Chains A and B, each alone.
Chain A
């Protein structure tokens, strides 16, 4: 039982790490209807820029600010050169464009900073401690806390500020939002910039966990099933989806693995997401569109 709880908790905490990446997707999808495959590349770019600056002697917050600034520039460039020319194209086209985008960002990141593996120390100890016989990781708790704060901040942004309200209007109905004078382009840029910020936070936490290196961009693959289960349009959904995926894949690996063969974590979330889709095609929190003919 203790072991089960440990696996469960470990899974839930790992799931929150997935959610961190998934939130970036949700933001962009809500505002521009784009399933942004380049989010993983953005995470890599942010982490690599940050750690490279740090290694060159730039202090923590300075590096953070410069990285954030470069994410803003990236967002601006994406809006200008990719999104604007592709307005009103089918979602599949936009998705494929983000595939191209992820190639560009990955190439750019490595051109600028090289391909070495960097360690990243955020100064958070990862010594485990025990509560009631259960092993807990400080780092994971910290990451979970960060995810929580991020969600809180984002929901404040969405619900209380002018920008947030226009964001929601755009998410709701682009045409209507346009007609009441909301500038679509501006909203998109803000959203991509915020997604860039989320990417930076995710990049720092994941980078501290894995080391900053190329495979950071692969975590996008973990975020996809999270989104399917949580729905593409709900930040809360991303959190819940992350928890479900994290916990179930760990439990499956531990309990199902010995039966059918180990190493199933790669595909298990996808099969789970697929089953989910067949039952609830829009995820738990997603809104289902009614098809009109």
Chain B
């Protein structure tokens, strides 16, 4: 009995020790901190390792190449979330105060669930929450969501751009009339989010739309694809997630639907989505906000300065230049650019989250600036403002050749004018529910 007795007390002691240690911090450093709620295990690890690998490599690159931004170096630490919401919250709370005196610039969880759960906290803590290519569509309206940034592309823009592309392929948007489009979506709020917009567009352009749901996790899609076979659509839009994507491609092959008429959305566009489907994925088209590949000066430079120096973050060096990795790099470019813009206004020192937010709202990436950054063609021209936290809304299309993605189009722009009122309706409803008075963006400098 004695030795059983001892165990809990030892355990409790260790627990207490660990928790005390975690709160110890020292004053120091001319550094800017990035808290990273990364995920490297669990069902979605493939995305996490790529994205955070690219993000960290870019921060490292800026440190090595330029000694940080104006002498302010970047520092970061990781906290594993396993894509689980409450772990993400714990990580957020643990890391938000900065590291060794270096203040946090922004959080980048790359998880819809964690983003939702930390959305109000971020606002209360005045720490920007970056949801690049995903997140709440209505957080595009920065007057209601001052600290949330669905950079580059929100879900509404995504489908709008896809329809524009299909219109283009058919010889003009007016040719969409009478076309048949099926959307296969993941059975979750994420999957359903764009359905109303698709319905709106279907009405506007006169194509027939069928919405088919695939229950989570999506490893069985026979009935959906047999339905598609019966409908014989011109295009299938795949709004997938995780295992649902390769299974969709395999089942499409099984039911004789051509892969080159399937268009994957932003979470169906990685190597990990296509490759497991093997030959069935050949010809599969998807959107991307950033081409994969290594043919951009900034990536060449990262390779030279970081990877070749043995300081790369990727365990599997082959993933350099893949979709998730490049998304991480793009995310790094945008975060660093925000810091740089904010430093120009607030001074060359580590900044608070509130100051970095101003930086994000004043990001202006035109072609010239992108060329300077070595990211021309990798990042779309982007201009953010107080009322517009998305900024871009354009995508390029890529096609899987059996081994890798090949970009097959230039930037295709979403119809943002059409979407804006819908976004505002939703954000105002949120503001009313929450009792938030929207900022007056005319007064912001």
| Interface stretch (choices A57-65, A180-188, A260-268) | A260-268
| Interface stretch (choices A163-171, A210-218, A234-242, A285-293) | A210-218
A interface, CB within 8 angstroms of B:
3, 6-7, 10-11, 14, 110, 114-121, 126-128, 135, 137, 139-140, 209-215, 218-219, 222, 249-251, 253-254, 257, 261-266
- A242 → B minimal CB distance (Å): 12
Cβ-closest chain B residue relative to A212: B276
**Which residues in chain B, 43-60, are within 8 Å of chain A measured between CB atoms?**
43, 45-46, 49
Query: Across the interface, do B226 and A6 meet the contact criterion of CB distance under 8 Å?
Result: yes
- A258 → B minimal CB distance (Å): 9
Docked pose: A214 CA to B45 CA in angstroms: 10
Query: Across the interface, do B41 and A115 meet the contact criterion of CB distance under 8 Å?
Result: yes
B interface, CB within 8 angstroms of A:
40-43, 45-46, 49, 187, 211-217, 219-220, 222-224, 226-227, 229-230, 242-243, 246-247, 250, 253-256, 272, 275-278, 280, 316
Name the residue among A121, A210, A222, A261 with the largest chain B CB count within 10 angstroms.
A210
Name the residue among B211, B217, B277 with the largest chain A CB count within 10 angstroms.
B217
Query: Across the interface, do B253 and A10 meet the contact criterion of CB distance under 8 Å?
Result: no
Query: Across the interface, do B42 and A211 meet the contact criterion of CB distance under 8 Å?
Result: no
Query: Across the interface, do B219 and A215 meet the contact criterion of CB distance under 8 Å?
Result: yes
Instruction: Give 7 nearest A-B pairs by CB, closest first.
Output: A211-B276, A263-B213, A115-B45, A262-B213, A263-B187, A253-B223, A266-B215
B276: A residues at CB distance < 8 A? 117-120, 210-213
A11: B residues at CB distance < 8 A? 222-223
Query: Across the interface, do B215 and A213 meet the contact criterion of CB distance under 8 Å?
Result: no
- B193 → A minimal CB distance (Å): 15
B217: A residues at CB distance < 8 A? 215, 218
- A39 → B minimal CB distance (Å): 16
Query: Across the interface, do B255 and A128 meet the contact criterion of CB distance under 8 Å?
Result: yes
Cβ-closest chain A residue relative to B210: A258
A115: B residues at CB distance < 8 A? 40-43, 45-46, 49
Docked pose: A114 CA to B40 CA in angstroms: 9
- B323 → A minimal CB distance (Å): 13
Docked pose: A258 CA to B212 CA in angstroms: 9
Partner of A211 from the list B220, B256, B277 (CB cut-off 8 Å) is B277
A214: B residues at CB distance < 8 A? 42-43
Known: A6-B226, A128-B255, A263-B187. Contact between A14 and B220, CB under 8 A?
A: yes
Known: A126-B253, A128-B254, A214-B43. Contact between A265 and B215, CB under 8 A?
A: yes
Docked pose: A6 CA to B226 CA in angstroms: 8
B250: A residues at CB distance < 8 A? 126, 209-210
